[in-house]
């Protein structure tokens, strides 16, 4: 999956149709707002914002904090459609930051498995 994400991101950068190329993702996250906490899945990331899949799409204009791995940013909902919300960062991120999230995605499965093993060992008293 990581190689597909890299290929799509690199192709998006080279296409130059967007002001900020998108990095395809599939990471669990949480959107925290005054209306409550919402579990979500990050679908893609750019320097200017994110696209998330969410059970009950949020209304444009809602804002709050998006937390997922290294992402902990204040965002505002710009639009919604078909279970997705497009959100913009209050302060755009750098290319280096997007690359950091790419590395996080690539090692996500390994970290999750390691955490699961650690939890099992803790339960077993090992």
- pLDDT tens digits, 10-29: 444 344 445 668 899 989 99
> Which residues, 6+ apart, have CB-to-CB distance to 49 below 8 Å?
20, 75, 78, 86, 87, 88, 89
Q: At residue 124, what are phi and psi to the nearest 5 degrees?
A: -80, -10
Given a cut of 80, whether residue 57 has pLDDT beyond it is yes
Architecture of domain 2-124: Beta Barrel (2.40)
Domain boundary assignment for the chain = 2-124
Name the pTM for this structure.
Answer: 0.76
The model's pLDDT over 63-118, given as tens digits with 9 standing for 90+, comes to 999 999 899 999 999 999 988 999 999 999 999 999 999 999 999 888 888 888 88
């Amino acid at each position: 999956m990581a190689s597909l994400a890299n290929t799509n991101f690199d192709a998006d950068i080279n296409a130059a149709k967007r002001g900020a190329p998108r990095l395809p993702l599939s990471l669990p996250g949480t959107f925290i707002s005054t209306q409550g906490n919402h579990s979500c899945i990050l679908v893609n990331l750019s320097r200017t914002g994110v696209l998330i899949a969410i059970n009950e799409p949020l209304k444009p204009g809602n804002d709050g904090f998006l937390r997922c791995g290294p992402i902990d940013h204040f965002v505002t909902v710009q639009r919604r459609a078909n279970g997705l919300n497009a959100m913009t960062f209050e302060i755009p991120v750098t290319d280096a930051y997007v690359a950091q999230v790419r590395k996080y995605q690539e090692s996500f499965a390994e970290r999750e498995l390691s955490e699961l093993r650690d939890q099992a060992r803790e339960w077993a008293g090992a």
